[in-house]
A = this chain, B = another copy of it.
């Protein structure tokens, strides 16, 4: 009944976003002016002395403010490296062209699922969960496509078709390649997962339910966990966290306080079929990713499949 639930967001009608990432960036610039509005109408006179006194004491300590600023900065620095992945199914096989199909969700393609991923290098390699792109990876019809929404280092949003470079069902990992000609993109900074400690802070960035660039926070809840892999085996050494991870977060990075990627958000333990975060959530450790991804990029297959 309850089950580990992979976090791809299938068949969900995406909300239209009101602000493109550039305007979000704009929102993030005005940092210093958090003040109370003393609302200047007769309806909201604020003359209660005890309250005024109480609120004077409510000014956060400098250190508390510094810590909030640190999390804000961490999000701003790392979210540029997180991508939004849409699985699309074309209604008919497109005519061949030299530049590939132009993706057009409304007319030509049906949205089949969404997930997250992150920029591995400046050549346009994207790491995500295998289960996010499984349909494309196993496509026999020629109708499956994958659209990647990226932000460049200047905050400009752009979309590219993602081509599968390689995947490893044993670790639920896949590598896509997108054409980034003319854009400078920002790869993640990789951390280590072999020296993590239960209790340290961690941060998930992804697109739960299609809400792009969502930040959720928590701690490392456990280490050395085992979660099921798409090939029926087990992924060992998984990181458990209470940072909220929901359907659509799959493939996005789990980050430490230094902005380093420590894992790939992959599963939550919840009632089957809901994808609703329980607070018992799992990421593939980055050490496993670091061992796996280069082989996928060079050979297109896992290390274990090459011999």
B-binding residues in A (CB < 8 A): 1-2, 12, 15-19, 23-24, 27-28, 30-31, 33-37, 39, 41, 43-46, 48, 50-51, 54-55, 57-61, 63-68, 70-77, 79, 120-123, 125, 153, 184, 186-187, 189-192, 194-201, 208-209, 211-226, 234, 236-237, 240, 242-247, 256-260, 269-271, 273-280, 290, 293-294, 297-298
Contacts and interface: CB of A to CB of B under 8 A. Distances in A.
Contact of A219 (B2, B215, B259): B215
B36 A226 contact: no
A302 to B, nearest CB: 16
Contacts of A277: 278-280
A23 B224 contact: yes
13 contacts: A2-B209, A27-B197, A31-B197, A43-B123, A48-B187, A55-B189, A58-B73, A68-B200, A198-B215, A217-B219, A271-B271, A271-B276, A276-B278
Contacts of A214: 221-222, 240, 280
B270 A45 contact: no
Given A242-B217, A280-B208, A290-B37, A64 B67 contact: yes
Nearest to A49: B153
A37 B190 contact: yes
A24 B265 CA distance: 21
A222 B213 contact: yes
Contacts of A246: 269, 278-280
Copies in the complex: 3
A28 B197 contact: yes
Given A57-B73, A222-B214, A153 B257 contact: no
Contact of A190 (B44, B122, B234): B44
A192 B64 CA distance: 20
A290 B192 contact: no
A35 to B, nearest CB: 7
A196 B19 CA distance: 14
Nearest to A297: B43
A61 B63 contact: yes
Given A16-B226, A216-B242, A58 B30 contact: no
Nearest to A9: B2
Contacts of A211: 221-222, 225, 240, 269, 280
A35 B70 CA distance: 18
A221 B216 contact: yes
B121 A43 contact: yes
Nearest to A51: B186
A74 B211 CA distance: 30
A286 B32 CA distance: 18
Contacts of A58: 70, 73-74, 77, 258-259
A66 B73 contact: no
